[in-house]
Amino acid sequence: TDRKKLHTAPVGQVFRLRPFHVLVATGGGYAGYRKYEDYKLEQLEKRGIEVPVKLASEWEVALYKSVPTRLLSRAWGRLNQVELPTWLRKPVYSLYIWTFGVNMKEAAVEDLHHYRNLSEFFRRKLKPQARPVCCLHSVISPSDGKILNFGQVKNCEVEQVKGVTYSLESFLGPRVSTEKLHFSQAPPGNSFQQQLVTKEGNELYHCVIYLAPGDYHCFHSPTDWRVSHRRHFPGSLMSVNPGVARWIKELFCHNERVVLTGDWKHGFFSLTAVGATNVGSIRIYFDQDLHTNSPCYSKGSYNDFSFISNNNKEGIPMRKGEHLGEFNLGSTIVLIFEAPKDFTFHLKPGQKIRFGEALGSL
């Protein structure tokens, strides 16, 4: 009689699983498995063994998308802005430096206690002499990173990595009005690629640069050009690691991205900053109206903003090497531009490159 009564809930209530929890657990587990597969592929590549392309199926992409990467990225962003105690800063940043091989000797401020939170540390500036801008070549690298692919655009398809392509029109979206950009009017019926080429005898070129977490996270203007238009695509925030880019076709078209278009001395020029997991925040310094990774967005939508107005008919002029924007961790930059047929890239696939070094020239 002195025993206490034990109240138990029905088994169905104890083990009730919500669909959201199942998706998160399944998707998260599968994402971890893919990370392990990517690691194995990287090890094979380091040994010089060519890895055959194996694309993800539709259900695998849908499963990966079930992971709430946008929510996790916003949470990560808020965590990064939490001010760390002075005594904790050096251990935390030192661990990050050791993990990703960060060279703090290049930082404008080497003292780790100076950075109040992780966000400030990620967006650290470099010493002016750390990245000299090449003056001999017409196009330079806008950031530190790894060259995933480069070359001519063919058949309206662009390679994100060797053997894996995406649609040029899906990536950039519908063509911007030629009246606003002062481009020549392309004959009707031409392909999307041909409509972007404004001068006879020119070709369309592309270059893909992957920024790893340990890289310098700011990006700069790759040449002298004029930015006329911004197009923001809300979307997924899947990893853009080269292993994932090799696995998911049109990965860059799925992810959130900011497309800057305009023109340079040879015609059409565009720079696209592609978001990724934990990189929901893409900042363009001269565009205060841009807000990325918003909680509310319509799938497949995009919003446009023109920098050309009655008061400013020239857009935003950018000088080669000038600060343009920043990521909050690591991601990808895609350049798509028009140039004469004798334009030559000074690159090798897979090479490491630093901001200010030559990409190509005439």
Active site includes 331? yes
Which one from 138, 141, 221, 331 is the annotated catalytic residue? 331
Q: How far apart are CA 136 and CA 361, in angstroms?
A: 8
Which one from 73, 138, 144, 270 is the annotated catalytic residue? 144
Active site includes 111? no
Which one from 206, 217, 220, 232 is the annotated catalytic residue? 220
Active site includes 66? no
**Active-site residues: which are they?**
144, 220, 331
